[in-house]
């Protein structure tokens, strides 16, 4: 890794290359120790924002959802020219993740019974079956692209199954998720003309097309469920009421959009990032494989280490002072999870990957009002995946360098070649 000399005025977390090259921790270490609340300069098209890099500050912001709202968008990017913000397409205020209290809690309660630890654990056998089907498909090959063939397949199958989608549609959901959440990466800008790929305009086109295609797909699903209810989340939403009113079609479509994206992108990266972290720390991996009862704390350490979602943004509803810096009403704050999860004030030896770490109160799932709804599924999918993976392919190892996603929002791995002794 190249060492870079940093100055606060040079730091600009609008630059996805920092993440693609895996240099973000150098920036975050510097900020935490020199300018923990740092004004990030505006970009060509987007407004400036405060980078929040300390654990306690992210706790404070997350615990005060009325003071720091989500309905002005949850990523660092917010256009300078608000006319650029297509209200119809932005989804701001329309999904759980971009919604404020009190409506947020009411909408969340429609589905959260399906996501509680008890409900999740009841799915363990089912998840183990899917996991083994995924591993069956590569078992005889002895090598594969771990992200495409393994890590992405389990969370995709689980969320698509919960939403009642037919198996033939799953690859399309994977493709559209990549377009929306990986829009900044030229690999997923297939809808943009070749000369625009790798540019902000290419990203805009990819994101917009992915979103439209997703809506087109779910509009058909919704129509189908209205005619024939199934035992799935879409049918549940069709019959749900908030404050005595049925959800509108638009409400349901945004709900589906969020569920499919959040359900398959994040856990994919935790699984891939987890195997990568274990490969890079062979002593830790050996310890785990010798005693798989250490898996629960190992999973928490993987989550802390990988922090698959790099940030969430909020907007201040009044002037607030944090750590001596005044955040002005209307200004944007960006909470950087990879940074707070290596905050020296909270985690001893934060840059040490330690599968026995306890306590490990990482914020990889956020905290408070918007705590990740799917956290239980993520944890269970990680547990079952590593149990089955190491049982069947104990010598699985990296067979080339991973390719990271070009994104400031998702700490993603696109491809990671692996090899292992094939099953007979």
Partner 1 sequence: MRVFVDPDLCEGHSKCEKSAPAVFEVRDDDLSYVLLDPVPEEHREGVERAVRVCPRGAIAMTEDNE
Q: Is 117 in the site for partner 1 (CB under 8 A)?
A: yes
Among 1, 5, 82, 118, binds partner 1 (CB under 8 A): 118
Among 156, 159, 375, 396, binds partner 1 (CB under 8 A): 375
Nearest distance in Å: CB 309, partner 1: 15
**Minimum CB distance to partner 1 smaller for 6 or for 105:** 105
Residues 354-373 that bind partner 1 (CB under 8 A): 361, 365, 367-369, 371
Q: Is 318 in the site for partner 1 (CB under 8 A)?
A: no
Contact 238, 226 (CB under 8 A): yes
Nearest distance in Å: CB 264, partner 1: 21
**Minimum CB distance to partner 1 smaller for 72 or for 379:** 379
**Minimum CB distance to partner 1 smaller for 67 or for 219:** 67
Nearest distance in Å: CB 259, partner 1: 16
**Minimum CB distance to partner 1 smaller for 88 or for 121:** 121
Residue 349, burial from CB neighbour count under 10 angstroms (0-12, 13-18, 19+):
exposed
Nearest distance in Å: CB 378, partner 1: 13
Q: Is 114 in the site for partner 1 (CB under 8 A)?
A: no
**Minimum CB distance to partner 1 smaller for 101 or for 171:** 101
Residues 3-22 that bind partner 1 (CB under 8 A): none
**Minimum CB distance to partner 1 smaller for 60 or for 172:** 60
Among 79, 115, 392, 398, binds partner 1 (CB under 8 A): 115
Nearest distance in Å: CB 195, partner 1: 46
| Distance in angstroms (rounded) separating the CA atoms of residues 310 and 364 | 8
User: Using H for helix, E for strand and C for coil, what is the string for the chain?
Assistant: CCCCCCCHHHCCCCCCHHHHCCCHHHHHHHHHHHCCEEEECCCCCECCEEEECCHHHHHHHHCCCCCEECCCCCCCCCECCHHHCCHHHHCCCCCHHHCCCCHHHHHHHHHHHHCCHHHHHCCHHHHHHHHHHHHHHHHCCCEEEHHHHHHCHHHHHHHHHHCCCCHHHHHHHHHHHHHHHCCCCHHHCCCCCHHHCCCHHHHHHHHHHHHHHHHHHHHHHHHHHHHCCCCCHHHHHHCCEECCEECCHHHHHHHHHHHHHHHHHHHHHHHHHHHHHHHHCHHHHHHHHHCHHHHHHHHHHHHHHHCCECEEEEEECCCEEECCEEECCCCEEEEEHHHHCCCCCCCCCCCCCCCCCCCCCCCCCCCCCCCCCCHHHHHHHHHHHHHHHHHHCCCCEECCCCEECCCCCECCEEECEEECCCCC
Residue 337, burial from CB neighbour count under 10 angstroms (0-12, 13-18, 19+):
buried
**Minimum CB distance to partner 1 smaller for 110 or for 278:** 110
**Minimum CB distance to partner 1 smaller for 22 or for 116:** 116
Residues 60-79 that bind partner 1 (CB under 8 A): 62-63
Among 112, 133, 286, 356, binds partner 1 (CB under 8 A): 112
**Minimum CB distance to partner 1 smaller for 100 or for 185:** 100
Site size toward partner 1 (CB under 8 A) is 19
Residues 16-55 that bind partner 1 (CB under 8 A): none
Nearest distance in Å: CB 316, partner 1: 19
Sign of CA dihedral 171, 172, 177, 182: positive
Q: Return the range that interacts with partner 1 (CB under 8 A); candidates 114-122, 210-218, 246-254, 310-318.
A: 114-122
Question: Which of 265, 255, 213 is CA-nearest to residue 409?
Answer: 265
Q: Is 270 in the site for partner 1 (CB under 8 A)?
A: no
Q: Is 119 in the site for partner 1 (CB under 8 A)?
A: yes
Nearest distance in Å: CB 313, partner 1: 19
| Distance in angstroms (rounded) separating the CA atoms of residues 301 and 41 | 32
Contact 383, 295 (CB under 8 A): yes
**Minimum CB distance to partner 1 smaller for 87 or for 371:** 371
Among 10, 66, 89, 109, binds partner 1 (CB under 8 A): 109
**Minimum CB distance to partner 1 smaller for 139 or for 372:** 372
Among 113, 323, 351, 391, binds partner 1 (CB under 8 A): 113
Q: Which residue ranges make up the site for partner 1 (CB under 8 A)? A: 62-63, 105, 109, 112-113, 115-119, 361, 365, 367-369, 371, 375-376
């Amino acid at each position: 890794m190249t060492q870079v000399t940093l100055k606060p005025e040079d730091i600009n977390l609008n630059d996805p290359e920092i993440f693609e090259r895996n240099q973000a921790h150098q920036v975050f270490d510097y900020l935490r120790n020199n300018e923990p609340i740092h004004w990030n300069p505006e970009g060509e098209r987007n407004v400036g924002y405060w980078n929040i890099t300390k654990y306690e500050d992210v706790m404070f912001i997350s615990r005060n959802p009325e003071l720091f709202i989500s309905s002005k968008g949850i990523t660092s990017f917010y256009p300078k020219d608000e006319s650029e913000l297509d209200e119809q397409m932005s989804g701001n205020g329309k999904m759980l993740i971009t919604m404020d209290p009190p409506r947020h809690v009411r909408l969340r309660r429609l589905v959260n019974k399906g996501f509680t630890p008890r409900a999740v654990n009841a799915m363990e056998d089912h998840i183990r079956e899917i996991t083994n089907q995924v591993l069956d498909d590569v078992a005889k090959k002895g090598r594969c692209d771990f992200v495409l063939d393994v890590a992405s397949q389990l969370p995709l199958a689980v969320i698509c199954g919960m939403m009642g989608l037919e198996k033939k549609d799953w690859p399309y959901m994977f493709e559209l998720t990549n377009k929306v959440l990986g829009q900044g990466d030229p690999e997923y800008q297939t809808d943009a003309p070749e000369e625009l790929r790798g540019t902000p305009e290419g990203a805009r086109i990819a994101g917009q097309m992915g979103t439209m295609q997703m809506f087109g797909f779910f509009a058909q699903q919704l129509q189908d469920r209205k005619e024939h209810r199934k035992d799935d989340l879409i049918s549940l939403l069709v019959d749900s009421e908030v404050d005595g009113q049925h959800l509108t079609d638009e409400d349901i479509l945004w709900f589906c959009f969020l569920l499919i994206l959040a359900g398959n992108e994040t856990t994919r990266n935790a699984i891939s990032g987890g195997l990568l972290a274990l490969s890079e720390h062979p002593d830790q991996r050996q310890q785990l494989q010798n005693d798989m009862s250490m898996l629960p704390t190992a999973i928490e350490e993987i989550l802390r280490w990988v922090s698959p979602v790099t940030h969430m943004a909020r907007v201040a509803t009044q002037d607030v002072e944090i750590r001596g810096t005044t955040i002005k009403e209307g200004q944007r704050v960006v909470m950087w999870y990879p940074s707070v999860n290596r905050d020296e004030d909270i985690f001893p030896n934060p840059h040490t990957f330690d599968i026995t770490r306890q306590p490990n109160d990482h914020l990889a799932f956020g905290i408070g009002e918007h705590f990740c709804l799917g956290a239980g599924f993520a944890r269970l999918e990680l547990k079952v995946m590593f149990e089955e993976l190491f049982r069947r392919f104990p010598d699985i190892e990296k067979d080339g360098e991973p390719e990271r996603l070009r994104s400031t929002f998702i700490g993603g791995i696109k491809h990671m070649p692996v090899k292992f002794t094939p099953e007979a």
